[in-house]
Amino acid sequence: MECASPYLRYFFCYREIVQDFTNQRNALKLRKQRVDTRVDEAKRQIEVIYEDVEDWLKRAEKELEQTQNLQDEIDRVKCFKWCPQWGWRYCLSKKLAEKTPIISQLLGTSNFAQVGYRGSYQGIEFITSTDFMDSVSSKSALNQIMEAINAKDVNMIGLYGMPGVGKTTLAKEVGKHVGEKKLFNNVVMFTVSQNPNINEIQDKVADIFGLKFQTKTQERRAEELWLRLKVEKDIFIIIDNLWKEIKLERIGIPFGVEHEGCKILLTTRHQQVCTKMNCQKEIHLGILSEDEAWVLFRDQAGLEGNSSALNNEAKEVAAQCKGLPLAIVVVARALKGEGLDLNGWKAVNQRFKESRHLDNEVFGDVLQPLKLSYDYLKKGNNQTTENDIQMCFLLCSLFPEDTEIPIEGLIMCGIGVGLFPNANSIEDKRNEIGMALKKLQKSGLLLEIDGAERIRMHDVVRDFAHWLTSTGENRIMVKDKLKEWPDMVESFECYTAIALWNCSSNIKFPDKVEFSKLKTLFLEGEDWDDLLVVSSTFFEEMKALQVLYLRNVSFSAKGFPSLPNLKTLCCDSCELKNFPSSLTNLEILALFDTEIDEISEELVKLSTLKYLRLSKDQFYEESEMRIHPSLLSRLTSLQELHLQSKITINLLELNSLSCLTALSLRLSTDQFSQEDFVFPKLQMYTIVVNGDFTYESAFRTLKIHDFSSSLSAFSNLFYNVEKLKLENVSGQKNIVPSIGEMGVNELTSLKLQSCDDMEFLTVITRDQGPSVALCNLVELNIRSMVSLKGLCFGLSPTRFLQNVKQVIIKYCQQLQVIFQIDELSENDQCQIALLSNLAILNLDLLPNLESIWKLEPSHQEIVSLTRLKVVTISNCDKLKTIFSPCLSQSMLHLQELTISYCDKVEQVIGFVQEEEIIENDYPLCCWPKLEILRIKFCESLKYVCVNTLTLGRESLKYVSIKSCPKLIQVFNTEQNKYGQDILLPGLGSQESFVNLTRLELTETALLNFKYLFSKFTARTLVHLEILKIRDWSFLEHLIEEVEKVDDIYVSNMKNHYPLFRPKLRSVTIKSCENLKYLCSSTFAQRLPNLNYISIEDCPRLIQVFNMETNKDEFELQNLCWPKLEILRIVNCQILKYVLPNTLLNVPFLQYLEVLNCPQFSCFIVQAPLIKELVLRDVGNSHRLCDIDVPVLNKDCIVVGNHKEVFQVQGEYSFSSIENLCLANLLEVRIIWNDFAQVVTLGNLTTLKLSDCKKLKYIFSPATAPSLSHLMDLFIEGCDELERIILAKDQVSSSSSNANTGLQPLSFPNLTKIIVTNCGNLKSLFPFGSVPVLPKLESLIVKRNSKLEQVFKLEDEVEVTAEEEMKFDKLERLTLEELPSLIHFCPKEYHIVLSALVELKVKDCPKLTTSFFVDAQIFVHCITKV
């Protein structure tokens, strides 16, 4: 039904409006759920979410919240027919009709092709680079490397030194420095080792750059990687542990002339490797001095405060380490905690001296310290344990060089070889092996890496382990990149452990090999898609074999009956043709991504099996693994079961496994059909329901998704669960007591999402009495909980959230208070302060949140935020304050504060009455370590840190305040002696804001503030990089005026902090109505890194840089901004000067724009690399602009309304300029005077000229041939313009180019021409034998009253016969209001317009050219004779 008026429609189309609104809102709700799901998945893949996606989600969430009451109103009213509710119906209908288009618009903008992208990663090796020791040698090497990195002629740097001297640590430190200083967009580090695995290196580099290889061969992958890296502007690559020359092309790394932005640092033991790699800079890393070695040794061994005699003996031990950091750390850590007295240190010293006979040829001076540390593994342990720890060390050495060794793999191998026989269960053995690894780490023999699941061994330590086992009866052999089977079979007899890595698939293995002593065999094929084939009889004679690890191998288990001692069989990415059912002593079986027939009844024959792990890669294959029913229940010895793939089992079988202590399962809801099933009590588990499996060792983890049944099956696990995630789980009102009656006090991580029935985390009534709950929780993450009303209901639990470090709460509509403590038990009064460990707080989209903290006055003192570091609050529409004054004072470590889209927030630190802010004589001491302050879109915000001694000013690095229209104060106010307020005051401190790097203030009121900085503060801003000010109507000057400051103090400040901005890169000033000038011209002279200046909409700006007095008005000063690339000045109506009397040298300036500055006086720039120049509505000529060109004696651009824009004096040509726009420049007569020297414009693509009234011509015949890239030409309102290209006969005879042979004119790429309102123009282009405009697509000529010819013959030559000329690309031709036009083309020329689709000829009364169309629908034009 259509109505004449929308008001009538509100009455008569009510049902239609309601239905449309309901449909659109439901569609938005569903669309948001889909986008949320995609965003969650992207975040799981560590992607960065696009800002427009996040903005859309926030707007959609807000719209759904705001329209919920309308939906509720619709749902409540059941009567929609003729009932006496016309007023109600009209109002509701009007509201719905207004909201529906907004929702429709949101739906229309929700089709995101992608919601996120892979961000660039710094690399964990750089994030965790904390071991660097600032020694003389390392500091010198670091400085040399950084100098070489900054040198233009160096692209390959070599760092060499002894093994263990610290090359890798230094390389990581370099990577960290480069990343922090942003010298390169990308920093990559990889290890090459003795036998480089090119594929792994390619994979690591490709992963960093988000490249997914499309090919498999090494050469093709190298080509793909090469092309990908060529796209990057600059890259810094660290190649660690290079043993010999390597061709980087094999990897796919372009450098040198192939990629000048790529710089490489390599580390090696041998200087000749640097030479062979053609390093332009070779840097030696020397050993530590004696004093440095002692300091490192003393710290690592914990010797501070001991007697001088003992220290003297210890110094001798330290000296035996020969200044090698690795040796020092290894020995010191081995001895730490041994409680050695003086005699003990003497004994250690003596042992060192006795071991000097060791072979040092390969290892140098590091061998003896390593041997000592290895021997000391025996100290403090019984005989069995010492051997086990040493065996654990040797097991680690079997793995490939520089690899990250999985601890779970070590545990499986360690159990197989019989480590720690006195430990009965696998869990006990796991703990013993874990402790052994920690001891090895503390001894310096193993390296810690990020995460608890892997460890690494230094290549020097690994070589030492191989040296240890190179002789004697129990030898080990490790080989990499094996191409053929060794012909030394007879000598294999003595080996007890062999590891063969990356074996070629072409190797022909012998059918049978006798290794009578071999206990451990690791065998790996080179490639997963070209498996290494091993015959079934190969293993038959390995009678003593205990551990067999196979990777990328195809084999049959038929020969396994003869392996009576095999305890551990681990297959990774293998093909297993027969299930090994006859291994009667097998205890551990692990099959990773291994093709196998179904897990059949044969498995039951493995009666001693204690550990079973089966998994397929869920990212590549989603097929379910099949296990026969009732099979698991008969594995009665099983202690650990890990089924990490999709798998269907009868859960009741688990209750038959009486020995089971550890379980990993990936389940679906369907598998919980047995109502009486309850998981057994377990020591370790990872159970995932309806989700993706991620194995987390040593954690008790439950992840339950999309589950509506009772959680009673998990009741035995809730008592000790450590990590719990519930997503879309219904029926649970709370965590305690519904899920865990005892308080789930083992829980360290709790994640809740979309559990719509949950109202509180804990519900404890007074009748229940004091209860301990969630006391060990470290991480709390709550999202999309529509019914959540609070964290606690009733009595607050004892020690509640006492250890919590991170709290994230988002999308909870009913939540009104986060931390509310109404009642506490008496015990809690003496407990550790609540929330004292909280470090991160993130609250978002909580529309009804009124308070973050709600504490009774008597409870204020028991809550402390001493460790709080990061606070992020956004989209909390009802929140009025963030912190109370009491809590603010406890926040001694706050580093980052972000508040956004909180419309009702008035104060960040909430004083009860606004008068308290003014009347309080004792300011609060708050946030001494604050580094980042971000506040945006807080419409009601008035005060931030007022009435506080914000000591954080000295640590502040980043301040950004945006769209806070009612803001009155940011920091505590300071007034100068004239009573004028200063936003960033000095407050008497010489260090105020000394670390500030970024300051952004946009769309803020800041009433009464005329100055941004005090003079004192301005001098301390030595680290300021970015300054952005926008919409600050009261600001008059950036820096307090000098003449109003005490001269003596200014003098002192100048000595302490000269007015110098060495790091300032970007200045943006916009919409500051009262700003008069930025700062003094002295300030302008000290900006070596300035890259960007934009000044816009400052109607009272008189000068950009205040002109110095007592200067000769016409004496030019030279000023250089060596890194400036962009300069913009727009809409400054009374601006006169930028840099008066100054020649500005900007060698890298690329973009220069001055618009709508009618009072503007010229300034002169020297910009050889200018790419775009825009001058529009620039003021009248000033006396400076009339200086004769020879006085300047420079190749420069006059920025202003001067008669000549480009002044050419030397051999300079404007070849870099691409876009030129000149508009409303009334005095411009010449764009470039190029008669003294030819101007080449080889890159000019766009030229726009408008209202340059005195301009007579644009190009000379000498310049025109260089316009090979010109594509767009727009000319409008140039009243005196007679010709676009000056005629040859008009070139001055005095010109050096007047008599030179000029090439035929042609504009090979000009596609679009518009010429309008040029009253004196008589012709456009010369015409000749060469096509002038071969690519012309559009020609529009209008209102040019004197135009007689569009194309004119340059030389009057007699045309004996009709000549044909083609314009094959011209599609649009317009000739309008041209009263003098006679010819479109010269006489006797026939022009064919084969592509023309639009022709307009209007009001051209004298035109003699006729147009017609032929049979091919080609347009022709001929001028009548």
Apex 872 CA angle, 868 and 876, nearest 5: 125
Residues with Cβ within 8 Å of residue 357, at least 6 apart in sequence: none
Give the phi and the psi of residue 116 in degrees, each rounded to 5. -155, 175
Asked whether 216 and 529 are in contact (CB, 8 A), the reply is: yes
Neighbours of 870 (CB within 10 A): 15
Per-residue pLDDT tens for 609-620?
A: 999 998 875 434
840-844/806-810 β-pairing: parallel
Asked whether 1408 and 1383 are in contact (CB, 8 A), the reply is: yes
Strands (E), 778-880: 779-783, 792-794, 806-810, 817-821, 840-844, 851-855, 870-874
Query: What pLDDT does 1142 receive?
Result: 78
Note the helical H segments in 1011-1059.
Answer: 1015-1020, 1047-1056
DSSP-based three-state secondary structure for 170: helix
DSSP-based three-state secondary structure for 677: coil
Query: What pLDDT does 1189 receive?
Result: 37
CA-to-CA distance for 492 and 490, rounded, in angstroms?
Answer: 6
Torsion of CA 1326, 1331, 1336, 1341, to 10 degrees: 20
* pLDDT under 50: residue ranges of the chain: 1-5, 78-84, 124-125, 127-129, 356-357, 360-363, 618-621, 830, 914-922, 986-990, 1042-1058, 1109-1113, 1181-1191, 1212, 1235-1236, 1293-1302
CA-to-CA distance for 1312 and 1332, rounded, in angstroms?
Answer: 13
Residue 652 DSSP label:
G
Asked whether 1124 and 1118 are in contact (CB, 8 A), the reply is: no
Strands (E), 506-637: 520-525, 532-533, 547-551, 553-555, 568-572, 575-576, 588-592, 611-615
Asked whether 1270 and 1244 are in contact (CB, 8 A), the reply is: yes
CA-to-CA distance for 97 and 99, rounded, in angstroms?
Answer: 6
Query: What pLDDT does 619 receive?
Result: 37
- Predicted TM-score (pTM) of the model is 0.71
Asked whether 170 and 139 are in contact (CB, 8 A), the reply is: no
Query: What pLDDT does 1111 receive?
Result: 45
Closest by CA to 144, choosing from 293, 349, 286, is 286
Asked whether 461 and 467 are in contact (CB, 8 A), the reply is: no
Neighbours of 688 (CB within 10 A): 21
Residue with token string 């990936």: 666
DSSP-based three-state secondary structure for 835: coil
DSSP-based three-state secondary structure for 365: helix
Query: What pLDDT does 6 receive?
Result: 54
